[in-house]
Structure 1
Amino acid sequence: MQTKKLAILIAYLAGSIFAPQASAEPTEAQDVPKVLFCDQTGFNPPCITEIASIGECITLRPQWADKVSSLQPNREAGICRFYKEKYCFGEYIDFEYPGHDNLPAIPGRWNDNIESYECFGNN
C-alpha cells in the first residue's frame, strides 16, 4: 500500500516539474500594432482602438470617418500615415506614438477629416 502511494506521489511531482511554466513574457495582444481614435480632443471618449495591419491600408468604419479629433498609434504600430480620403489616397500626415491629442490645432484641416490610414511598424 505504501509503495502505491509513493508511486502516485512521484508521478504527481514529476508531472508538476515537467509541466510547462507560465511565461513572464508580454502577451501577444500587447505586441499587436494598434491605433486609438477619439472623437474628442485630449483622447476623450468616445474612442475606438483599431488593429493596424502593418503595410496595409485601412479605411475607417463609416461611423468614424471624418470624426477623429485625437489619435494615438501604439509603439508597435511605428509611424502611421493618416489620409483625408478612403483607400489611402490624397493628402496625408504622419504620426507615431504618442500621437496627437488635438488635431484641430494642426494646420491643414485635419480635425474630423481622416478617412484611412496605414502603419509601417517599428523596424
Structure 2
Amino acid sequence: MSRPLRLSFPGAIYQITSRGNARSAVYLGDDDRRGFLDLLAECITKFNWICHAYCLMDNHYHLLIETPDANLQVGMRQLNGVCTQQFNRRHARVGHVFQGKYKAILVDKDRTRLGVKS
C-alpha cells in the first residue's frame, strides 16, 4: 500500500510530528535540544516558514508550521536530515534517528484558529 499524497499549497498550516526510531530519544541533553532549535530557526528562515508553536519531547517533537511558499516537503527533508547528521556526529553513532517519515496533519484554518475551535 502506497503512502498517501501530501497536500501542499501556499499558506497551509500543518501540525507536524516526528518520532525517534524505535521510539528512542532524539534529544540526549540540552545540547541536542539547542542544536535542533538552531536548525529549526535556519529552516524557518531558509524556507520562509512561520512557526506558530513547537514542543520538544525526549523521543519526538511537535511543530505547528505555516508554509507561505508550499515547500513543507523540501524543508522537512532538510530539518530531519541535517538533524540526523548532527545527532550522529555529536554522539558518534550511525543510522536512523527518526522513525520513518514525519507525520503532517493539515490544519483547517476556516474551522480552527491555531488550536482554538470556533
Larger relative CO (CA 8 A, sep 6+): 1 or 2? Answer: 2
> TM-score, normalised on structure 1?
0.26
Q: Which has the higher strand share?
A: 2
Q: Which has the higher helix share?
A: 2
> TM-score, normalised on structure 2?
0.26
Larger radius of gyration: 1
